[in-house]
Structure 1
Amino acid sequence: MEFWAVIKWLLPLLEFNLSNQLNFHHMPTSRRSKQLIVAMNTHKAMSLQNLSRILGIPFSTYELNTIIEQFEKEGIVEGVEISPRGTFATLTKVGTQLSSDILESR
């Protein structure tokens, strides 16, 4: 099979796999997302990149921005600021309550 024919055949499979991985990793119910919500409640003035690095929660900047945008849509965070200094956001009352619920359920 010619190289480009193989690429055309593989591309839809790769796109499907990538989209499934992204959706899986960005679900608000994932363990990493829950850890991020709890950490945001206790470390309010820190960029999310620094926060995740310090706490050992593996996130890329792209993942953090995607998760925070999802959290904003769900009313968990507000005041989202994405800048060269990092990604910043504040938990809403809903986010603070969710953080408390996560801690209590442990």
Structure 2
Amino acid sequence: MLGQIHPPGLLAIHLNLQLVFPEEIPEILSHEEQQAVEIANKFITDGLGYLQEQSTRPQTIGYALCDSPVGLAMWIYEKLYAWTDNNDNPENDLELNEMLDNITLY
């Protein structure tokens, strides 16, 4: 909303999860388009649990994460795993100390 009214002093806005899909996927796709469809389908079937949990039942996970430092560390590690291009190993993109620094902040 702020981006639309653009009040004085507003320098930028952050948009998250801005996904736009055509009503129908064409039958014939380029290689890049096919890859995009596959990635989107994987996200829809495997990556929306976090969004659903945080949107509908945030306290369910919130109590557990506040009560268990190890649980919180694994939650964050799983996010680093899921949100980096790592070929199934987050250490391919991030140094172990970088991940531990991030986890320690929380």
Higher relative contact order (CA 8 A, sep 6+): 1
Structure 1 or 2: more strand by fraction: 1
The two structures have a TM-score, normalised by structure 2, of 0.31
The two structures have a TM-score, normalised by structure 1, of 0.31
Answer with 1 or 2: which has the greater Rg. 2
